Chain A
Amino acid sequence: MAEKEILENIDSEYKYGFTSDIDTETIGKGLNEEVIRIISSKKGEPEWMLERRLAAFRHWQTMKLPTWAHLDIPEIDFQDIIYYAAPKARKTLGSMDEVDPELKRTFDKLGIPLEEQMALAGVAVDAVMDSVSVKTTFRETLAEKGIIFCSISEAIKEYPELIKKYLGKVVPHTDNFYAALNAAVFSDGSFCYIPKGVRCPMELSTYFRINAEGTGQFERTLLVADEGSYVSYLEGCTAPQRDENQLHAAVVEIIVEKDAEVKYSTVQNWYPGDKDGKGGIYNFVTKRGLCRENARLSWTQVETGSAITWKYPSCVLLGDNSVGEFYSVAMTNNYQQADTGTKMIHIGRNTRSRIVSKGISAGKSQNAYRGLVRVAKGADNARNYSQCDSLLIGDKCGAHTFPEIDSHNPTAVLEHEATTSKISEEQLFYCNQRGLSTEDAVGLIVNGYAREVLAKLPMEFAVEAQKLLAISLEGSVG
């Protein structure tokens, strides 16, 4: 798809900024054990799950907000947030007819038709609005292969053994402040299990949507790829345009068993706030995957949204010969702040990792890459290659690179390279001389700069990501 066609569709406003008038059931603001009991009982959870939530909550109360990131975070009052909001729905969502028509319209507007016959060819969707999963498509088709793809609430009830075995395994509730909070109050999210030796026949996808006012969204995704299996998973996020800041603290855990492969792609477009930095989502996310022997996990992310982003999709390369990859485009404009990157923890022998990070800062935004490559003592012959580039557009923004290499094994070979550049006058003049407007030229050059990462995305997502980059650049070229 040519950038041209994409740029023609530029919409200067945040396109997903609408709100849907859906009957929402919420509980009061604030957080205490009682609230957690309510969430758990509303979801009809078994006792063991409630115990886990309470343990996480008690631990969270002893924790402090992390302050090490290169972010200026206004004080967040955790008692001023609604921790549960759900579109009021009929009892079970057996067929499409039972989904609230307004809800269906919302997802149609987002370009995510819930009707299976209309769905993007070969993509199964789990749609999460506020605190609950509203509809998962293609479940039956997937079930034939033994693949489980459902909301995490259902999984807790229907597959307690799998949940007990894997939930909190990669990101325990003691991991960090937001992971603990999520473990205590998470409301919904997706669960996916690919059985041994199965190659998932279609892309799996979760769309997250925050709709209700004053709420936080705390979803939890658990993805298990059993031995020798393969899955490509997509995640998209949008939110309405509001003057207030809303908190989003998600946890994604991935277990990649022996010889399995997982590709996890994210296009994050939470509402970034307006030109003056008012409103927008605070996005504090913990994403981590565990790779066993010969396993391969690849994170690809295109981040254009959120007022504040704090996110480090990581790979724990536990098994010998496992491979971790991280491809990222993070773009900030206006007053957005991003502190994002990855951790590659090499534990097994002959483990390899690759990091390609492309930061784009415009307006008055601050964009930081933060990375850690650690080679443990026993990780013989570990290899890492990291490349972190920054592109600055305008002279009021900042681009920062905070990599750390921590090697405890002398057979490791680790390389890190970084460059910082801007779009040159010569490039703009050249494009102008060929008849392109300056805005088109900037869009084209930025997409070219990010091409290496965009090429890693599945086709439909790549197109959407290119559009997003162009839209997010609006107004950044003086």
Chain B
Amino acid sequence: MLSVKNLCASVDDKQILRGINLEVRAGEVHAIMGPNGSGKSTLASVLAGNEKFTVTDGSVEFMGRNLLELSIEDRARMGLFLGFQYPVEIPGVTMANFMKMAVNEQRKFRGEEPLSAGAFLRMMREKSAVVELDSKLTNRAVNEGFSGGEKKKNEIFQMAMLEPKLAVLDETDSGLDIDALRIVATGVTKLHTNENATIVITHYQRLLDYIVPDYVHVLYKGRIIYTGDKTLALKLEKEGYDWLINDYKE
């Protein structure tokens, strides 16, 4: 589904990603961990197409297409979803309108008819239940005045609405209390099928208690330096990164 080869990217002439290699197949869950500043969020942004970053080398193939030559919105319409670490507020734009537009853009992209108002509302109701999102929130402006937990739930709600092929969740667990964490993680698990894949970027092992990864990657200084299974996360939690990154220190 996703094939990343030697991906290098920089921002303001500063090299952040220095050759990422990553294969993600349908049905898989990958966790990417690593200390602060290792390039985790940059990887998510580059995959989504954030123009702040310049890709300097490498290639990314997604669903058989060259991802890097697609616009941000076309990547999204193809089924790449980025769950933001800091979801932005858009004053005055209601969630309902925003999602209706997003869902129908995706349908248009696939050559499908737009959803009727009734069908759309039904879908909103169903999907908001997945993350126990207060349905009143969908009448509010996008992320405006949402608490930290509501913003993250709202990201997963949007993921449920858009049914992505590949979801990249950037630190979705940060700033969540244990209840919100459970809700968000259960939501993600419910949405997981054999047809789609998830990349979870996280700092802490605790999210992985709920979302069980098939692979755990350690990102350090812009490279994946180690890949293991779910037990790696536990080891990292106990022992930290030092045993891994000592060899890479300058």
Chain A residues within 8 Å of B, Cβ to Cβ = 2-4, 7, 424-427, 429-438, 440, 444-445, 447-452
Contact = CB atoms under 8 A, between A and B. Distances in A.
B87 interface: yes
Contact of A2 (B49, B81, B97, B141): B97
A435 B93 contact: no
Interface in B188-213: none
Given A435-B106, A444-B98, A445-B90, 4 more contacts: A427-B88, A430-B84, A430-B88, A436-B101
A393 to B, nearest CB: 15
B104 A451 contact: no
Interface stretch (B71-79, B127-135, B178-186, B238-246): B71-79
Contact of B82 (A7, A424, A433, A444): A433
A71 B92 CA distance: 30
Interface residues of B, number: 36
B42 interface: no
B88 A435 contact: no
Contacts of A432: 49, 71-73, 76
A468 B105 CA distance: 21
A430 B87 contact: yes
A447 B88 CA distance: 17
A429 B50 contact: yes
B88 A426 contact: yes
Contact of B92 (A7, A440, A450): A450
B73 A437 contact: yes
Given A3-B97, A4-B101, A448 B76 contact: no
A400 B92 CA distance: 22
Contacts of B142: 448
Interface string B120-155: 000000000000000000000110000000000000
Contact of B93 (A426, A429, A447): A447
B100 interface: yes
B97 to A, nearest CB: 5
A435 B97 contact: no
A435 B105 contact: yes
A444 B96 CA distance: 12
A426 B48 CA distance: 13
A445 to B, nearest CB: 6
B91 A4 contact: no
Contacts of A452: 92
A449 B91 contact: yes
7 contacts: A432-B49, A433-B76, A433-B84, A444-B101, A447-B93, A448-B91, A448-B142
Contact of A433 (B72, B90, B93, B97): B72
A4 B158 contact: no
Return the 8 tightest CB-CB contacts between A and B, nearest first: A448-B92, A448-B93, A432-B72, A451-B92, A435-B76, A4-B101, A434-B102, A426-B88
A197 B114 CA distance: 47
Nearest to A441: B73
Contacts of B76: 432-435
Contact of A448 (B71, B102, B141): B141
Contacts of A448: 90-94, 141-142
Given A2-B101, A444-B101, A436 B90 contact: no
B43 interface: no
A3 B158 CA distance: 18
A424 B88 contact: yes
Nearest to B91: A448
Contacts of A436: 73, 101-102, 105
A65 to B, nearest CB: 38
Contact of A3 (B51, B91, B101, B162): B101
A427 B90 contact: yes
Contacts of A434: 76, 98, 102, 158, 162
Nearest to A389: B91
A378 B81 CA distance: 62
A287 to B, nearest CB: 26
B226 interface: no
Contacts of B94: 448
A2 B50 CA distance: 27
A436 B158 CA distance: 14
A451 B96 CA distance: 14
Q: Which of B114, B142, B158 has the most CB of A within 10 A?
A: B142
Contacts of B96: 2
Contacts of B73: 432-433, 435-438
Contacts of B81: 433
Contact of B97 (A4, A425, A449): A4
A431 B50 CA distance: 12
Contacts of B104: 4
B242 to A, nearest CB: 35
A456 to B, nearest CB: 13
A438 B71 CA distance: 10
Contacts of B84: 430, 433
Given A447-B93, A450-B92, A429 B101 contact: no
Contacts of B109: 435
A167 to B, nearest CB: 40
Nearest to B158: A434
A459 to B, nearest CB: 15
Contacts of A430: 84, 87-88, 90
B140 to A, nearest CB: 11
